[in-house]
Amino acid sequence: MNIENLENLRIYTKDVSVWNIVTLIEYNELIFEDKDYANADMIVGVESRVIERMMVHDIPNRPLYFMEKNNKWECISVYASHVLPAIKHFVIDKSLKLTDLDFLKDLTTLGYDDLHPKYQRHITNSRMFIHIIREETPDKIKEILINRINLDEI
């Protein structure tokens, strides 16, 4: 790849709250896979720890990566593929009950509505950086970026 191609790289970054992400999910502006997993217990634990990270202010959230497609953002990172369903299941659908927590063990088995308002605020006010690869970025550069993003997350 020539350096000239990198001039066509178009990424922008946004600092958003989880509440902003909730709104984007509700309006179907974020595209992500929300599927049933073979090992549902493990995934519930992962999603619970994602939510726990939002409730503990001293643990920073990792950035999320998206590809812009038709004025929507498609999830392209392994980490975001856990964060978005966790937010949807816990805050929107209210189907997730916390389990396998590392720090806030006393909140195990609670759902979003069961939490003290302080924790609800910690979640919805939690900040995340999202990086959006613009649609006009050349496909080869997109491919390289997606591979690097996901290798760094493993």
Task: Return per-residue pLDDT of the chain as tens, 154 residues.
Answer: 554 566 777 888 999 999 999 999 999 888 887 755 445 666 788 899 999 999 997 778 888 888 888 888 888 787 788 899 999 999 999 999 999 999 999 999 999 999 999 999 999 999 999 999 988 888 888 888 888 888 765 4
The predicted model scores a pTM of 0.84
The pLDDT of residue 38 is: 46
C-alpha–C-alpha distance, residues 42 and 37, integer Å: 9
Using DSSP bridges, classify how beta strands 11-17 and 127-133 pair: parallel, antiparallel or unpaired: antiparallel
pLDDT in the model for residue 35: 59
- Domain containing residue 37: 3-153
Number of domains in the chain: 1
Residue 14 bridge partners (DSSP)? 130
The pLDDT of residue 2 is 56
Give pLDDT, residue 30. Answer: 86
Buried-exposed string 113-145: b where 16+ CB fall within 10 A, e elsewhere: eebeeebeebbbebebebbbbeeebeeebbeeb
